[in-house]
Amino acid sequence: MDVYIDDMLVKSKEAHYHVEDLDETFAVLRKYRLKLNLGKCVFGVSGGRFLGFMVTQRGIEANPDKINAIMDIGPPTSINEVQQLTGRIAALSRFISKSVEKGLPFVKTLRIVNNCEWTKEFQQAFEDLKTYLAKLPLLVKPMPRGTLYLYISTTNQVVSSVLVREEEGNQTPIFTT
């Protein structure tokens, strides 16, 4: 189960356990006299939006609206627009490998007070980011007793990591930083 403030997602490892998992969830809710808003409840779906992400049986995907919010803009021309861009990158950070490194050129512009000079370095970083966003990975769930690998990458300015699972010789990401 995933819970965030007033949103809850009940997941089951196998479909035939889902009714039992729901029964257990409802028992806990009754025990503590918690109520659900039936207008917000959805049952029997194989996927949907949860906390701004697309959750499906295949895994967790980035919300296309959040991707398009970056893809559809031109180069920032003010500090405010750079701040909006870095916020949008942060919203997708779990899908962007080395997101801090990819966003670092934009953060550097924020350190220059009242100056938003768009250099070739920033333009290249902006184009590279858009190219990467066009093919974001699907984040998968870990499998019981499956092999997980943690890869760590460091530079003088950034430490990044990716947790992957291996299945039949293929590695797929679970989470990135």
- Mean pLDDT of all residues in 162-172: 90
Residue pLDDT, tens place only, 28-67? 999 999 999 988 888 878 788 877 788 888 888 999 999 9
- Mean pLDDT of all residues in 1-29: 86
Joined together, the tokens standing for residue 68 give 């398009």
Q: Please tell me the pTM assigned to this model.
A: 0.72
Within 8 A by CB and 6+ apart from 2, the residues are 8, 9, 11, 50, 51
Phi-psi region of 89 (alpha: psi -120 to 50; beta: other; left: phi over 0): alpha
Residue pLDDT, tens place only, 55-108? 888 888 999 999 999 999 998 888 888 899 999 999 898 898 888 888 888 888
